[in-house]
Structure 1
């Protein structure tokens, strides 16, 4: 896939407060979660804070699932840091304190085998095309992404969404020249919602989370890609027992219900 950046063609769209909040969540991971100060004991209020590093495409669903977990476990507080999987992996290698990690692909998790315990796939996903509301360019398939009158934004191949996108385009034999390559799938979604590109490849769940800010073009399941989210405790987790409990809980029915409702597929 060729990736020669072109000048984007901006259009005016009003970005609603909800999407802006999501963007801020993605672009500014919680420094409290990744900085120093994670202790093995309980906090001043008696609750144990468990830090979770998670792929940006899980921002909405894990925030909701985390609230449900805390209701069932009042002695535990979950603190999330959402970013691209490759950024999370870099944080782990740098030794920043956290308890568990959830990536958007198995390759990133496999590369962390020396820093994590065994991983468990907690959810699956697939790709879709996101366009401006109303789909003004008439993008109906991957072939349309190769049109000269359609500006396309993709995730960088260094992140899972970018690798999945490249795999999908190669499978369909489509050559796309993106106007930009973004550091996360949520950044791709934001570019489309802001009118800075006509279309982009995102996860189905991300397109759904944006509501009427984007139009989602589904892709055939038999020619789509298999997106998997593995979760694993970190070897140096300050709270290993709690980390293992969170991962186990993500496989229970309350968590699976939240995942299904958000459009994720179960393992």
Structure 2
């Protein structure tokens, strides 16, 4: 069962550990026990929740605890001493923030890629046709804040298209942006195509050619002082296994 970590729990003390990328079997028992704490980008919520359930089935003595959020906020929490075993970021820049402080010393592995898509409420009541509409004053627009990977990617596509967006709200993670769309509070937003898929029929996705200008690489790595080093090693291996790649592909992520 998925266990979520409150953000306020992110300021305790950690232990020690080291990584491996050997792919594990997806069933049976193992020597991995205890909590495995994973800090992961909000856009990974659905895919990693499923991978966590698979991992617990393969390792009956272990329990995966997730903290999902904006990659920039997660990096900040880790650098302030939040205890975690694994960090999966939606962009290399936020992973570098944790590496620069020595909180992560292992070389990260890119395990997935993602790109942006226009999201509109069901039925597209605002009549949004493409990226150019984000420069129009008449529409309500939501974007991720620039320090969040989805916000940084949005800035790149707007620059490539020569468009100055007129956002009505800037959110701290992509799920918050998606919620604005699904509730009909905005006419359009830029989110990852995986989030549009995860929303089901609550939103509709519109492709745009400039999305190829900002494809996000997702790196993953164990913490240098992971409290559960064996668990960190096993979870990374599970994400990088054939089963892990299959789950990510089903969620709409591209292979690295």
TM-score past 0.5 threshold: yes
> Residue 138 in 1 paired to residue 124 in 2?
no
Stretches (4+) displaced over 6 A: 37-40
TM-score of the pair, normalised by structure 1:
0.83
Q: How many residues align?
A: 236
Listed as ranges, the gaps of 5+ residues in structure 1 are 1-24, 41-45
1:66 aligns with 2:45: no
Partner of 2:27: none
Q: CA deviation at 1:198?
A: 0.5
Deviation of 1:75 (Å): 2.2
TM-score (norm 2): 0.86
SS of 1:237 mapped into structure 2: coil
Matches within 5 A, 1:1-267: 29-30=5-6, 34=10, 36=12, 47-113=33-99, 114-116=102-104, 117-220=106-209, 223-267=212-256
CA–CA distance in structure 2, aligned partners of residues 163 and 31 of structure 1: 23
Q: Which runs of 5+ in 2 are unaligned?
A: 17-31
Tell me: CA distance 1:258–1:235, structure 2 relative to 1, closer, same or farther (3 Å).
same
SS in structure 2 of the partner of residue 111 of structure 1: helix
1:224 CA displacement: 3.9
For 2:42 and 2:12, how far apart are their aligned partners in 1?
22
Shift in alpha-carbon separation, 1:61–1:222, aligned structure 2, 3 A: closer
Q: CA RMSD in A?
A: 2.1
Query: Match of 1:12?
Result: none
In structure 1, the residue corresponding to 2:240 is in which secondary structure?
coil
